[in-house]
Homo-oligomer: A and B are copies of this chain.
Amino acid sequence: MSGKAPEALVQSAADWWTTEIIDIHPGEIDIRGYAIQDLIGQISFPQMIWLMVRGDLPSAGEARLLEAALVASVDHGPHAPSIAIARMAATCGIGLNNAMASAINVLGDVHGGAGQDCMVLYELVRTELERGGELPAVADQVLAQFISDHGKIVPGFGHRFHPVDPRAAPLLGLVESAAKDGTVAGGYVAIGREVEAALRRRTGKSLPMNIDGATAVIFSELGFAPEMGRGLFILSRSVGILAHAWEEMRVRRRMKGPMPKDIPFTYAGPEKRKLDRPD
């Protein structure tokens, strides 16, 4: 082994798995310093999520905003790749945890990252405002740079299916109320609305804020990092994934593919051919 003394190696092994989240001793579980029995029945699930991820408890108002965002994002139907995958996986003779895992796994940059990317966009605007810039000019500039860097699909705005996303206005309304009573500062609402306006100026098209843009306002107001915006979306969408996997399991179809068997797939490859020589 290495030159370290055994005591030092043992300490190194213990420290290899260091955490600030939880302490466990026989008969005792402390989450961020709070005994678990003091939390059960005393705090809400969103408060526990916040405590686990952030390290302290949120105020009641902050927790309600987080809760609204978690409620809003649970599902968008069985044609969404994550939901379709959960449903098909559930018919392949694997556990609910496995069906859920295959689905959660695809909440990536395209399918789950829009909220995170939109938080990054809002942060770019906020940074410029801190340097003395003013909306709406800052919104125009940052948007132009963002599109130049990342392409013309701007996360958080517009929707393939909804002319107006019905989840955005209720969420923004809640943030505005929370700004009025001082729960949050409210700056990101203005940023989000101004980016929406800047997009309209730039493209001539109406691309209203969607669920990702609205949750991005909420998570930014609440002080979450952009990557955690994705983490929180995952917790929310896991509920839809669970519900759909469960529903499919009770239909008991075996080996569900994407199409009914009457509809074939299209082959576009080479014509039939023979090996030149056996290998």
Contact = CB atoms under 8 A, between A and B. Distances in A.
Contacts of A79: 17, 257-259, 261, 265
A39 B239 contact: no
A91 B100 CA distance: 18
Interface in A75-97: 75-82, 84-85, 87-89, 91-97
A149 interface: no
Given A21-B269, A79-B259, A269-B21, A96 B230 contact: yes
Contacts of A161: 24, 26, 261
Interface stretch (A41-49, A135-143, A187-195): A41-49
A210 B260 CA distance: 22
B55 A263 contact: no
A76 B113 contact: no
Per assembly, the copies of the chain total 4
B32 A270 contact: yes
Contact of A40 (B36, B71, B104): B71
A41 B167 CA distance: 11
Residue among A35, A37, A45, A279 with the highest chain B CB neighbour number at 10 A: A45
A147 interface: no
Contact of A84 (B77, B88, B173): B88
Interface in A59-111: 60, 63-64, 67-68, 70-72, 74-82, 84-85, 87-89, 91-111
B14 A265 contact: yes
Contacts of A7: 6
B98 A17 contact: no
Interface in A228-246: 228, 230-231, 234-235, 238-240, 242-246
Interface in A250-266: 254-266
A163 B28 CA distance: 10
Interface residues of A, number: 147
A29 interface: yes
B102 A106 contact: yes
A68 B39 CA distance: 9
A21 B75 contact: yes
A84 B169 contact: no
Interface in A103-149: 103-113
A98 B84 CA distance: 16
A101 B92 contact: no
25 contacts: A6-B6, A9-B13, A14-B266, A16-B258, A16-B259, A18-B266, A18-B267, A20-B247, A24-B76, A31-B75, A36-B166, A37-B166, A44-B45, A48-B71, A49-B239, A55-B270, A60-B279, A85-B85, A94-B106, A95-B230, A97-B234, A98-B106, A99-B106, A100-B234, A160-B261
